Amino acid sequence: MELERNPTWDKVLNELSPLPIKDNLYLATESTLDSYETDSFMTDHPSVLGTYGMLPLLDGLDKKVMKNTFDKIWDIWHWEDTWGWDFPMTAMTATRLGEPEKAVDALLMPIVTNTYLKNDHNYQSKRLRLYLPGNGGYLIALAMMAAGTEENPKENIGFPKDWNVQHEGLNKMY
């Protein structure tokens, strides 16, 4: 936008804390050292996956630590306590990590909140039969899986190699 740099934002950027790590895993927050031992921290959104699913590779992120974190979350998370957009977020992280089978498995995980009704709405519960973040996340994940990313521009990176996936007009994700 050709605006002057804002020194306040530069100060914020320069003082961001590094991503918290314990035992070669990214933590949910600096203060939750037991992120993967306490059941209440393994419900709802596995948000730490968004750090390299919804976002591209950024300074300060270690892909090996993220792979360890992804594997840990995949194995121990209370998936029945998640929301519809968590599955596409997980699929995007798997795609960026080069795990196409897990990307597909995340989108097809047989969990109630990962259900799509005949009208294509992402179902969460009787009180919430329409959950647009799940729908939007699903479409974004499929686009990334098919079109690739700036970091990995090959097509169909999120699908098993023996799948014949065709698409057109999709842009690569950052």
Q: Is residue 169 part of a domain?
A: no
Number of domains in the chain: 1
Contact between residue 141 and residue 92 where contact means Cβ atoms under 8 Å apart? yes
- In this structure, what token pair is assigned to residue 46? 């596995």
Q: Is residue 20 part of a domain?
A: yes
d(CA 4, CA 172): 30
**pLDDT tens digit at each of 174 positions of the chain:** 899 999 999 999 899 999 999 999 999 999 999 999 999 999 999 999 999 999 999 989 999 999 999 999 999 999 999 999 999 999 999 999 999 999 999 999 999 999 999 999 999 999 999 999 999 999 999 999 999 999 999 999 999 999 999 999 999 999
Residue 120: left if φ>0, alpha if ψ -120 to 50, beta else—which one?
A: left
Q: Is residue 153 part of a domain?
A: no
Q: Is residue 129 part of a domain?
A: yes
Q: Is residue 18 part of a domain?
A: yes
Contact between residue 70 and residue 49 where contact means Cβ atoms under 8 Å apart? yes
Name the DSSP class of 168: -
Neighbours of 163 (CB within 10 A): 10
First to last CA, the chain: 20
Q: Is the pTM of this model over 0.85?
A: yes
d(CA 105, CA 31): 31
Residue given tokens 């959950």 in the structure block: 131
Q: Is residue 27 part of a domain?
A: yes
By residue range, what is the domain housing residue 50? 7-147
Q: Is residue 38 part of a domain?
A: yes
d(CA 121, CA 130): 5
Q: Is residue 162 part of a domain?
A: no
